Amino acid sequence: MALNETHDPALQSWVASANTGSSDFSIQNLPFAVFRRSGKNEAFRGGVAIGDQVLDMAAVRDAQALGAEVQTQVEAAAQAQLNALMAMSPAQCSALRLALSRGLRLGSAQQAALQACLVPQSEVEYTVPARIGDYTDFYTSVHHATNVGKLFRPTNPLMENYKWVPIGYHGRASSIRISGVDFHRPNGQLKAPDVDPVLKPCNRLDYELEMGIYTGQGNHWGDAIAIEAAENHIFGLCLLNDWSARDVQAWEYQPLGPFLSKNFATSISPWIVTLEALAPYRTAFTRPAEDPQPLPYLSSQANREQGALDVQLTVAIQTPQMRAAGQPAAQITQTSYRHAYWTMAQLMAHHSVNGCDLQPGDLLGTGTLSGPTTSEAGALLEITEGGKKPLTLPNGETRTFLLDGDAVVFTGWCEKPGAARIGFGECRATVLPARQA
């Protein structure tokens, strides 16, 4: 993705809250979501974030406020599911972004028309922004894979295939929920040593810090996506929490991998940040010289030069005690997506190399995005070394795994000198007590 006028860090919006320098939703961002006013019996429709406002794309459509040249894209962006927009070409999506940017800039002749289409974010609720036909979860952090592997195979933590193949499994799309939707602690089979398994609530509930990658244009069944074209098939990214029942997982995962330990809930942030918006934050993708280098179908010059993304990511926990005391969630992790062992383009190319057809709106999870140090670990399983070393929170409470009432909050953003801040908002959910097994 080349830089263009929409990335100019000097751009200012007539929506003053977008110009603070600390807003996730500057005019250089312009992410998409699906929303409606809270407490109103309204239809969900597409929106674009600008500062602390949502630009109601259904209202923009009705007013024809962005002009005939992009009216087709506006109509797709106004729908209750954004699959039609995701299915459009990168050129069409880029044209819509440019029209939005010009319309929301200071001095725009469209200010009056667009101002009437704004809704405060404080007054809205969100839903899953696309029809997610399929969800695949990958395992792209070598640091996470090594840390977890050490718990089970201290002398051989990484399986032989890890550095050759982007490892993934087929997840459950039906249990993906938007940020703010809480869920019950899952029940599952648990097996203690020397006794038969029992069905009961999991007691080793964990989060996994991930990003989600939305498929844009799909590919025909039987046709592989070449790595050189892979990013033309990516619409944008969100934050993703792959909740995990570690004790259920330990009993069920051999020989076919995760099942009930993963499919009970996956949380995603509401805003989709487009790949074009993230162009200033591309960075080189490199492998240690002593590691196997990617096979040709997973390698290209463009991927080596700018295949990685420097997205800062945090995890915070708010316990019931913190909430009662009016204390915010306490940050326990900060890391970056740039540490991933496999890039977005590699995931798309590998997923389709056997002829698998991806559809607009399909979601790929990156896997837990841990960095090289303990402070960059993306799951409690790593931080507490499988529950052996409890985490002490700032108020003195400890956790090995999550307890009922704990809220987990992810945030993500990009920031550097010479570029505007691009944020993802937050991904939040609270663990509710288990239902009776």
Catalytic residue list: 144
Q: Is 180 left (phi over 0), alpha (psi -120 to 50) or beta?
A: left
Residue type, 277: A
Pair 76, 82: CB distance under 8 Å: yes
| Total Cβ atoms within 10 A of residue 68 | 8
- Residue owning tokens 């809704």: 119
Q: Kindly report the number of other CB atoms within 10 A of residue 150's CB atom.
A: 16
Strands 407-416 and 419-432: antiparallel
Contact call for residues 43 and 78 (beta carbons, < 8 A): no
Sign of the torsion formed by the C-alpha atoms of 78, 84, 87 and 92: negative
The CA distance from 363 to 156, in Å, is: 31
At a CB cut-off of 8 Å and minimum separation 6, what does 332 contact? 315, 316, 317, 383, 391, 393
Please choose, from the candidates 235, 271, 269, 268, the residue with its C-alpha nearest in 3D space to the C-alpha of residue 32.
271
